[in-house]
Amino acid sequence: MRIAVVGTGYVGLVTGTCFSEVGIDVTCIDIDTTKIENLKKGILPIYEPGLEEMVLRNTQKERLSFSTDLASSIQGCDAAFIAVGTPPGEDGSADLKYVLAVARAIGHHMNDYLVVVTKSTVPVGTAQKVRQAIEEELAARGADIPFDVASNPEFLKEGAAIEDFLKPDRIVVGVASEKAEDVMTKLYKPFLMNGHPLIFMDIPSAEMTKYAANAMLATKISFMNDIANLCEIMGADVNMVRRGIGSDARIGNKFIYPGIGYGGSCFPKDVKALIRTAGENGYEMRVLKSVEEVNEHQKSVLFNKISAHFNGNLAGKTFAIWGLSFKPKTDDMREAPSLVIIKKLLEQGAQVKAYDPVAMEEAKHSLGDTIQYGKDEYETLIDADALLLVTEWPEFRSPNFTVASKLMKDKVVFDGRNIYDAKDLNEKGFTYYGIGVKQ
Ligand code: UGA
């Protein structure tokens, strides 16, 4: 089998590389020449555990190649995956200009039957627009070449993308012909060894599945954040409540961890897009509107605790921040709650010294020299008035608090992810604040 993957961002690169890993001949295409030249040298535009090694291995075996030339790369392919960006436009809707430009380019250059697969997260109805764009291009050059469109949403988590791709919980594919179903079955067969299903459905349902999945997960998080805030008021401990409800299989124990709000490139964007799609079609997503509202509020919760502890007097104080990325094992800073917290602290005249194992370079794009960057987590603690745990990287889980207490000016910990034990820290002389736990 042979495929082309257009777009070497997060989704495209992981998809192309993992397909090549099982022996499929893959060309990853991008219009960004520098990106392609770097990829040919094994330099990746993103950080994702295990990806670099996999790219190198498959490039060496000549199953994976990189090109800026879409016209020649799609020839002889069974399928072309569109995995380019869909940035939110000014009004919050997904901007389809890149997706449709790729569709037109495919229509302009294809010479044989092809399944054109949308892999980017796109609103319901996009596959139909992709079909139209290809038809128009074919008609313009008087070509009568058969093709199919398919929708194949991705459910990868950053930081665990390779594992998620190679051993998926499920693969969802929207198709409108048996021929397309046949091609997609052959492509995905190597990934179904764990017995999990390849689910075929109509195209709009596949497009909707992606949004419904992310919206449901975001709902779980906002719901737990709301419960956590109430626990605090009522003197309950959300860690206990979480364990209590999570053991009910109908609820499940995943994605019910309270914190400082969800971030990243997916949940905030997809929740907004679904609210908008519904609105445009005369329906109001009442639950999701609240999910968004709770999330916005949650990003301020840690700051509010800090402000209350220091009686609103933050000017001249120094705060150590551990973790900047929106979640561990990624350098992704998009919609990271750390940015909201840092902005609020700086506005109050406080100073920030941050450390993140991977995301500091990325963070500098938005934070520049408004904050200081530590060479490791302990360095940030020197003379700090408090420690703020913002991203729960594994290396922050069990620090040496005896060393920490000697470095810090004041022994206060604000734990935005509930990874530390309040009792243990209190015994070591620290004042501890968590989310949804007794102070
Ligand atoms: C999410 C989905 O989990 C993937 O299935 C989906 O493919 C992806 O979006 C996408 O649409 O591309 P991702 O954004 O990488 O993946 O990150 P998650 O691990 O889902 O975390 C999202 C946010 O929720 C993070 O800010 C995390 O800290 C927060 N979160 C997660 C919580 O606050 N509590 C939890 O219990 C779980």
Question: Which residues belong to the annotated binding site for NAD(+)?
Answer: 30, 35, 86, 121, 158, 269, 334
Residue nearest to atom 24 of ligand 1 (CA): 262
ipTM, two decimals: 0.95
Query: Ligand 1 center to residue 127 CA distance, Å?
Result: 25
Residue nearest to atom 30 of ligand 1 (CA): 262
With tokens 């990746």, the residue in question is 44
DSSP conformational letter for 380: G
Query: Ligand 1 center to residue 336 CA distance, Å?
Result: 12
Decide: 159 and 327 in contact? Cβ < 8 Å.
Answer: yes
Q: 211-297 maps to which CATH number?
A: 3.40.50.720
Output the pLDDT for position 301: 97
Here the tokens at position 230 are 């109430």
Question: 183-207, pLDDT tens digit by residue?
Answer: 999 999 999 988 889 999 999 999 9
Task: Please give the Cα distance from 403 to 6 (Å, whole number).
Answer: 50
Q: To which H or E segment does residue 389 belong?
A: strand 386-389
Output the pLDDT for position 265: 86
Task: Please give the Cα distance from 70 to 138 (Å, whole number).
Answer: 16
Confidence of residue 229 (pLDDT cuts 50, 70, 90): very high
**Nearest CA-CA partner of 324 in 372, 358, 368, 297:** 358
Q: Which residue type sits at 192?
A: L
Of ligand 1's atoms, which has the minimum distance to the CA of residue 337?
Answer: 26
**Nearest CA-CA partner of 3 in 103, 73, 67, 80:** 80
**Nearest CA-CA partner of 48 in 185, 143, 129, 158:** 158
Of ligand 1's atoms, which has the minimum distance to the CA of residue 225?
Answer: 33
Confidence of residue 87 (pLDDT cuts 50, 70, 90): confident
Is the pTM value of this prediction over 0.90?
yes
Output the pLDDT for position 88: 76
Query: Ligand 1 center to residue 157 CA distance, Å?
Result: 6
Q: Is 53 helix (H, G, I), strand (E, B) or coil?
A: helix
Residue of 253, 266, 269, 299 to test ligand 1 pocket, by largest number of atoms within 8 Å of CB:
266
What are the E-state strand segments in 101-226? 114-118, 147-151, 171-174, 198-201
Question: 28-55, pLDDT tens digit by residue?
Answer: 999 999 999 999 999 999 989 999 999 9
Confidence of residue 75 (pLDDT cuts 50, 70, 90): very high
Ligand 1 contacts (CB < 6 A) are 121, 154-158, 214, 217, 221, 255-257, 259, 262-264, 266-267, 326-327
Question: Which residues belong to the annotated binding site for substrate?
Answer: 155-158, 210, 255-259, 263, 327
CB atoms within 10 A of CB 89: 11
Architecture of domain 2-201: 3-Layer(aba) Sandwich (3.40)
Rg of the chain over Cα atoms, rounded to whole angstroms, equals 24
Residue nearest to atom 28 of ligand 1 (CA): 327
Q: To which H or E segment does residue 61 belong?
A: none
Decide: 148 and 80 in contact? Cβ < 8 Å.
Answer: no
Confidence of residue 93 (pLDDT cuts 50, 70, 90): confident
Task: Please give the Cα distance from 4 to 416 (Å, whole number).
Answer: 42
| Interior/surface letters 286-312, b for 16+ CB within 10 angstroms, e for the rest | eebeebbebbeebbbbbbebbbebbee
Q: Where are the domains of the chain?
A: 2-201, 211-297, 299-433
Of ligand 1's atoms, which has the minimum distance to the CA of residue 221?
Answer: 34
Residue nearest to atom 10 of ligand 1 (CA): 266
Here the tokens at position 373 are 């960057």
For 51, phi and psi rounded to 5 degrees? Answer: -70, -40
Percent of the chain with pLDDT over 90: 94
Confidence of residue 403 (pLDDT cuts 50, 70, 90): very high
In this predicted structure, the answer to whether residue 294 has a pLDDT above a threshold of 80 is yes
The residues that are catalytic are 266
From the options 1.10.579.10, 3.10.20.340, 3.40.50.720, 3.90.580.10, give the CATH code of 299-433.
3.40.50.720
Report the mean per-residue pLDDT for the chain.
Answer: 96
**Cα dihedral across residues 98, 100, 103, 109: positive or negative:** negative
String of DSSP letters for 262-313 = --SSSHHHHHHHHHHHHHHTT---HHHHHHHHHHHHHTTHHHHHHHHHTTT-
Of ligand 1's atoms, which has the minimum distance to the CA of residue 10?
Answer: 12
Decide: 207 and 175 in contact? Cβ < 8 Å.
Answer: no
